[in-house]
């Protein structure tokens, strides 16, 4: 993704480079989307690169102080502090510029005061008391993991104790659960990344279906040509699959958005913590969990997400497989962009659909992660067990699966693949409309196909007299059946491949996408 000739590449990937070097290198690259950033940069440099690209920080509401219990939820402190740092620095630069201090004057008192004002404003909005916020600003919150502290929660709590020894002594009363962090991460990932990506892909499919309604192609069952359909109808079939995926993810998010904080180790919290206030502050829109014993070990939401991710993978794998076939010379229906294909190192005439093959292959990992997590949970006793630590690797890996764009369609090649023998079913429908039971009509159509094969001609080349030898029900208008556009137009019920039906489907998808964005 970064050309090897570019001098900044080694800085972007270097673990020894300083944050400022990485930020400068990233800015020189012009910035790239967040998913690529997360895949390419070492974790320690990602926040600095975000600032270099002027991206908005993640929400800082995960850092809070509860007024009733007077305890600090520390599990998310380091993440939230980073978010506050980003927001404060951006706002500090704005305030400094407004006051004439200069955006680069980080050593000036005026710049420092501007940053302090922004910092305190953001932190106090999160519920942190003024004296704690000032202490954090004065002493900073950056720290490195040492060999004695490998657990993130213990490391964060120890740092809190160093900065504010009196206030932090109560910090462990809330028993902040790892499940809370996983839920927060998954809620944000679904809302901010995966669902928008899916809707974007659906919108792409719907837009192409709307603009390419005139393209006819063969439909297939058992990889055999069956009946003519519109290219738009094929596109909307995958839009329908992905719409169900969106609905599954929305249901998953609703169940994920239940706050387990206040559950303690398993029996609950004895200090009358306002759990609903915590849930509201953190953005848990479905309220709080009902039972503490269940809450500390519940990973249903993770399993649901991995099932939904596996289904998305299956649907995209099917789409990729169709496109791989359609890209082949045997079909020639579509051509992939050069950005999503490669040439052969040996055979220069080849153009390989590598991106589609990788999507197809990635699906196996998604299905494997689902089975792995289900096996972890299958025989666990009540409450928390260390086995549940295995839920995260598959969860995060499932979330990192990439997406792709649609190819270029070739209407002439699609139309060239149509043949009149695909209208044999239409011949049966013709007899049904003239009062013949379908089974008899189907048999008569089959005899017509056999007659054409015996005469070494195409079905549409049979004469009216030929059809009459099969059934007296055939009228002279039978010779007018062999038009593909007329064939697809008979499927006018909603969901069919007729032009008006396709337009109705497009309109339905447009309404649904509009409702999803509200």
Q: What is the pLDDT of residue 507?
A: 94
Length of the chain: 518
Q: Which of 306, 334, 296, 295 is nearest to 212 (CA)?
A: 334
Q: What is the pLDDT of residue 232?
A: 93
- Determine the average pLDDT of the residues in 77-90: 48
Q: Tell me how far CA of residue 439 lies from CA of 52, 412, 427, 436, 446, in angstroms.
A: 70, 35, 12, 8, 11
- Determine the average pLDDT of the residues in 162-185: 66
pTM of the model: 0.65
Is pLDDT above 80 for 321?
yes
Please check whether residue 458 is in contact with residue 421, taking contact to mean a CB–CB distance below 8 angstroms. Answer: yes
Instruction: Sketch the domain layout of the chain as residue ranges.
Output: 9-52, 77-174, 178-221+228-415, 420-516
- The question of whether 317 is a catalytic residue gets the answer no
139 or 273, greater pLDDT: 273
Q: Which of 215, 180, 227 is nearest to 427 (CA)?
A: 227
The tens digit of pLDDT for each residue in 463-514 reads 889 989 998 898 888 888 888 998 999 998 899 999 999 999 999 999 998 8
Exposure string for 162-189, b = 16+ CB within 10 A, e = fewer: ebbeebbeebebbbbbbbbbbbbbbbeb
- Determine the average pLDDT of the residues in 131-137: 56
Q: Which of 307, 165, 186, 302 is nearest to 245 (CA)?
A: 307
| Residues whose CB falls within 8 Å of the CB of residue 404, separated by 6 or more in sequence, listed in order | 316, 320, 340, 355, 356, 359
102: left (phi over 0), alpha (psi -120 to 50) or beta: left
| Residues whose CB falls within 8 Å of the CB of residue 56, separated by 6 or more in sequence, listed in order | none
- Determine the average pLDDT of the residues in 174-202: 81
Q: What is the pLDDT of residue 518?
A: 67
How buried is residue 514: exposed, middle or buried, by Cβ count under 10 Å (0-12/13-18/19+)?
exposed
CA distance 402 to 386: 30
Q: What is the pLDDT of residue 306?
A: 86
Confidence of residue 460 (pLDDT cuts 50, 70, 90): confident
Q: Which of 57, 174, 185 is nearest to 123 (CA)?
A: 57
**Average pLDDT in the chain:** 71
Give the CATH class of 178-221+228-415.
mainly alpha
Q: Tell me how far CA of residue 62 lies from CA of 139, 185, 283, in angstroms.
A: 21, 11, 9
CA distance 355 to 407: 12
CA-only gyration radius of the chain, Å: 31
- The question of whether 222 is a catalytic residue gets the answer yes
Give the highest mean pLDDT range of 179-193, 284-298, 320-334.
Answer: 320-334
Confidence of residue 247 (pLDDT cuts 50, 70, 90): very high
Concatenated DSSP letters for 114-160? HHHHHHHHHHHHTT--HHHHHHHHHH-------TT---HHHHHHHHH
Please check whether residue 387 is in contact with residue 381, taking contact to mean a CB–CB distance below 8 angstroms. Answer: no
- Say which of 4, 15, 147, 222 is annotated catalytic: 222
CA distance 194 to 186: 10
- Say which of 67, 108, 344, 382 is annotated catalytic: 344
Q: What is the pLDDT of residue 291?
A: 84
16 or 425, greater pLDDT: 425
Q: What is the pLDDT of residue 134?
A: 57
Please check whether residue 319 is in contact with residue 357, taking contact to mean a CB–CB distance below 8 angstroms. Answer: no
The tens digit of pLDDT for each residue in 410-448 reads 999 999 999 888 899 999 999 999 999 999 999 999 999
Q: What is the pLDDT of residue 210?
A: 92
The tens digit of pLDDT for each residue in 39-54 reads 444 444 444 444 444 4
Q: What is the pLDDT of residue 160?
A: 65
Which phi and psi angles does 221 have, rounded to 5°?
A: -130, 140
Give the highest mean pLDDT range of 64-68, 85-89, 267-271.
Answer: 267-271
Where do we find the tokens 């339905």?
508
CA distance 58 to 61: 9
Q: Tell me how far CA of residue 407 lies from CA of 200, 204, 322, 410, in angstroms.
A: 15, 11, 12, 10
Is pLDDT above 60 for 22?
no
Considering the segment(s) 420-516 as one domain, its CATH architecture is Orthogonal Bundle (1.10)
Where do we find the tokens 């997360």?
38
Neighbouring CB atoms inside 10 A of 375's CB total: 11
């Amino acid at each position: 993704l970064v050309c090897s000739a570019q001098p900044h590449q080694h800085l972007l990937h270097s673990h020894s480079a300083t944050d400022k070097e990485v930020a400068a290198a990233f800015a020189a690259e012009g910035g790239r989307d967040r998913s690529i950033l997360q895949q390419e940069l070492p974790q320690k440099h990602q926040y600095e690169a975000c600032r270099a690209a002027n991206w908005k920080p993640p929400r800082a509401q995960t850092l809070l102080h509860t007024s009733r219990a007077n305890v600090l939820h520390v599990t998310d402190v380091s993440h939230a502090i980073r978010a506050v740092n980003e927001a404060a620095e951006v706002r500090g630069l704005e305030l400094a510029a407004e006051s004439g201090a200069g955006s680069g004057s980080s050593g000036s008192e005026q710049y420092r005061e501007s940053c302090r004002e922004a910092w305190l404003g953001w932190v106090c909005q999160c519920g942190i008391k003024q004296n704690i916020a000032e202490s954090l600003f004065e002493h900073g919150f950056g720290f490195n993991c040492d060999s004695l502290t490998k657990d993130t929660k213990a490391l964060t709590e120890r740092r809190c104790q160093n900065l504010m020894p009196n206030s932090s002594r109560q910090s462990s009363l809330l028993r902040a659960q790892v499940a809370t962090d996983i839920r927060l991460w998954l809620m944000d990932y679904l809302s901010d990344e995966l669902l928008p990506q899916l809707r974007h892909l659906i919108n792409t499919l719907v837009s192409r279906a709307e603009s390419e309604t005139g393209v006819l192609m063969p439909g297939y069952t058992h990889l055999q040509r069956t009946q003519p359909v519109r290219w738009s109808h094929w596109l909307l079939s995958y839009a329908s699959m992905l719409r169900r995926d969106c609905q599954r993810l929305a249901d998953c998010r609703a169940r994920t958005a239940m706050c387990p904080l206040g559950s303690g180790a398993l029996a609950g919290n004895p200090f009358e913590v306002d759990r609903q206030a915590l849930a509201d502050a953190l953005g848990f829109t479905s309220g709080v969990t009902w039972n503490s014993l269940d809450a500390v070990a519940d990973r249903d939401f993770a399993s649901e997400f991995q099932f939904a991710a596996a289904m998305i993978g299956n649907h995209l794998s099917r789409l990729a497989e169709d496109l791989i076939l359609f890209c082949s010379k045997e079909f020639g229906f579509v051509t992939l962009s050069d950005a999503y294909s490669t040439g052969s190192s040996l055979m220069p005439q080849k153009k390989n659909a590598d991106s589609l093959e990788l999507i197809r292959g990635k699906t196996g990992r998604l299905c494997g992660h689902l089975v792995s997590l289900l096996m972890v949970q299958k025989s666990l006793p009540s409450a928390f067990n260390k086995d549940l630590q295995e839920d995260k690797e598959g969860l995060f890996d499932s979330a990192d699966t990439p997406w792709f764009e649609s190819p270029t369609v070739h209407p002439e090649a699609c139309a060239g693949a149509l043949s009149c023998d695909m209208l044999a079913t239409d011949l049966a429908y013709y007899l049904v409309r003239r009062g013949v039971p379908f089974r008899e009509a189907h048999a008569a159509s089959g005899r017509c196909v056999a007659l054409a094969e015996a005469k070494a001609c195409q079905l549409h080349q049979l004469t009216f007299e030929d059809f009459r030898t099969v059934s007296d029900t055939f009228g002279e208008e039978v010779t007018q059946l062999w038009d593909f556009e007329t064939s697809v137009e008979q499927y006018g019920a909603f969901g069919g491949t007729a032009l008006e039906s396709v337009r109705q489907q497009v309109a339905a998808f447009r309404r649904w996408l509009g409702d999803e964005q509200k």
